[in-house]
């Protein structure tokens, strides 16, 4: 038996709680992992609070991130004792996830834990940080360079935004961080931001083309924020879009794309192929300062994860929430 957060659903609605689960209840998979840490991401917040139909099968163990040790494997790439990380692949949505002391998974979903990180540090990065690395990789591949001007990061105090700011700073970029939390300016500057702007400047409908400000953008917000970011991007610049905190609508004009040659880059972290994942984790291991992880991370036990999910939906969370599933 092991402890897990379990989401169930009946005529009365969704129920969430910590329960004891038998190993025999674990889903199919060719690798069993003793989970050390998981996380609370925005998607986990949606799943646990039920504010969006993220969970596709019930009962479900949420948690889209996992770091732990292989305890049993029939997969050729993994053996008992290997340290592994998982991000995405529908885990916590259609397949039991990481907010439990054990997980049974497909070995093809796993990547090795980088030697630069402990399991806790890997989860301080989690899907948010891995997505941030995918975004920075995409901007660089599209031709955005530090000498072209500032890069805007929206949702900057969130998990994706916080790691993105740190990675861009390390790569030599000047970073403008957009946030609705004026009190977090020092936090963002500590991570590497040079300019702090009020997210209200971007949050409402604006002109199809606006003053050119940004060489590139990493947006985790969507809706009008993404539209305005595109409208303010310089000629030939690129915008990496990876989130929808404001909304999944895109009430935009084609003007930035056909008159300024702006590229809109969609970033998917859930089903990204393994080679791209490995490159992202290599960047994180090379460029992300462990001290920055401590600045952005709050830790809770399994019992605190449910409340943390509500907090992240209420916009009360700064940076990353790591869950020690064994306390």
Residue 165 lies in a domain: yes
94 plus 16 within the same structural domain:
yes
Cα–Cα nearest to 164, from 201, 138, 197, 200: 138
- What is the model's pLDDT at position 294? 87
Average pLDDT per run of 10 along the chain, which is 327 residues long?
Answer: 96 93 96 98 94 92 98 98 97 97 98 97 95 98 98 94 95 97 92 96 97 98 98 98 94 98 97 96 93 88 96 90 96
Domain co-membership, 149 together with 85? no
In this prediction, residue 250 carries a pLDDT of: 97
Burial 214-250 (b: 16+ CB within 10 A, else e): bbbbbbbbbbbbbbbbbbbbbeebbbbbbbbbbeeee
Same domain, 23 and 78: yes
- Which residue is it, tokens 């300024």? 260
pLDDT number for residue 265: 98
Domain count, the chain: 2
Q: What is the pTM of this model?
A: 0.91
The answer to whether residues 133 and 58 belong to one domain is no
Q: Do 94 and 185 fall into the same domain? A: no
Domain that holds residue 96: 2-113+292-324
pLDDT at 295: 86
């Amino acid at each position: 038996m092991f402890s897990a957060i379990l989401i169930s659903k009946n005529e009365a609605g969704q129920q969430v709680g910590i329960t004891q689960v038998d190993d025999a209840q674990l889903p199919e998979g060719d690798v069993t992992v003793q989970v050390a840490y998981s996380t609370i991401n925005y998607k986990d917040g949606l799943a646990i609070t039920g504010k969006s139909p993220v969970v596709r099968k019930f009962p479900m163990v949420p948690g889209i991130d996992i770091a732990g040790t292989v305890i049993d494997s029939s997969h050729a790439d993994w053996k008992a004792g290997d340290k592994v990380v998982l991000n995405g692949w529908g885990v916590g949505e259609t397949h039991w996830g990481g907010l439990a002391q054990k997980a049974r998974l497909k070995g093809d979903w796993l990547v090795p834990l980088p030697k630069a990180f402990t399991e806790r540090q890997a989860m301080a990065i989690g899907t948010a940080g891995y997505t941030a690395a995918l975004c920075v990789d995409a901007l660089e591949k599209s031709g955005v360079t530090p000498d072209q001007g500032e890069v805007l990061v929206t949702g900057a105090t969130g998990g994706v935004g916080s790691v993105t700011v740190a990675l861009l700073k390390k790569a030599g970029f000047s970073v403008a961080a957009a946030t609705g939390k004026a009190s977090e300016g020092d936090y963002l500057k500590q991570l590497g931001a040079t300019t702090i702007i009020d997210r209200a400047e971007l949050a409402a409908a604006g002109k199809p083309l606006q003053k050119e400000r940004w060489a590139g953008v990493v947006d985790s917000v969507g809706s009008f924020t993404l539209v305005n970011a595109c409208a303010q991007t310089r000629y030939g610049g690129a915008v990496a879009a990876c989130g929808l905190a404001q909304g999944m609508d895109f009430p935009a004009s084609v003007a930035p794309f056909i008159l300024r040659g702006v590229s809109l880059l969609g970033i998917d972290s859930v089903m990204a192929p393994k080679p791209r994942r490995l490159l992202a984790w290599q960047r994180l291991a090379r460029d992300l300062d462990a001290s920055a992880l401590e600045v952005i991370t709050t830790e809770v036990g399994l019992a605190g994860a449910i409340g943390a999910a509500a907090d992240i939906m209420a916009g009360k969370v700064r940076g990353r929430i790591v869950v020690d599933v064994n306390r």
